[in-house]
Structure 1
Amino acid sequence: MRKLILVATGVALVASLSACGKKGYDRARPDEFAVARQAPLVIPPDFSLRPPQPGAARPQDTNPSDQALEALFGGTAARSPAETATLDQAGAASADAGVRSNAGSPSTTVVDKGTTTQDILKSPQGDNKDASVKTPQ
């Protein structure tokens, strides 16, 4: 008798669990896609747009290097009075435009820092004996 009650209880539990999975028995849930409102369509306020001319250059097609220069240096914007004064004090009006190419030329005069600086620059990296520089006493 005890086995019969356990089997009957087990069958009742299995039947009740299987009833939850039937497609006919489903609670009414809100549709998560129907909750949000759809934005209304908006007509553009300006109808006087001109159609593009065939063969004309597109305004958004610009050289990437020009875009980078404009982003970095601000394009052709007017300089502030403080920036203009700083450039005038530094001698921007009399500066040589090709100074960077002249800096590495053999005719450029440089200050001799001595052999110790050259030895430091030429020495290998690390902490071994070859990487150390002995200065004359």
Structure 2
Amino acid sequence: MALTGFHLLITMYGTGLSTTAMALPVLALGLGLGMIGAPLTDLALGRVEDEQAGSASGLFNTATHLGIALGVVLTGVVFFPHVPDTAARGTIVVDAFAATLPYVIGGLLTMWALMFFLPRATSQRTKRP
């Protein structure tokens, strides 16, 4: 929702968009992403045995960083064909950013839908003797 609002603001105001007008959707986006981080980590690592916690945490963090890097690369693949010159500024960059946001929104919606297929967390972990 926040990215959709941000996309709407960018397409309406273009280069005239002020920093204060961008603050609300960006704040909402950061808050939403921050609120999902801890529960997602708990869900991913909640059933891991104590002896494997370090390895599982390292794997989780590696996968997270790999996903972030892949997201940046894929966003760049969509963004840079819209920018003919690396020194481009102003309207060209705003238009490229506006053209990229629907792909980012689509990716986030896809991940949101896939989260419903994740296993449900249980309140108790089973320990091996």
Q: TM-score, normalised by structure 1?
A: 0.18
Structure (1 or 2) with the larger CA radius of gyration: 1
- Flag the structure with more relative contact order, 1 or 2, with Cα contacts below 8 A and sequence separation at least 6: 2
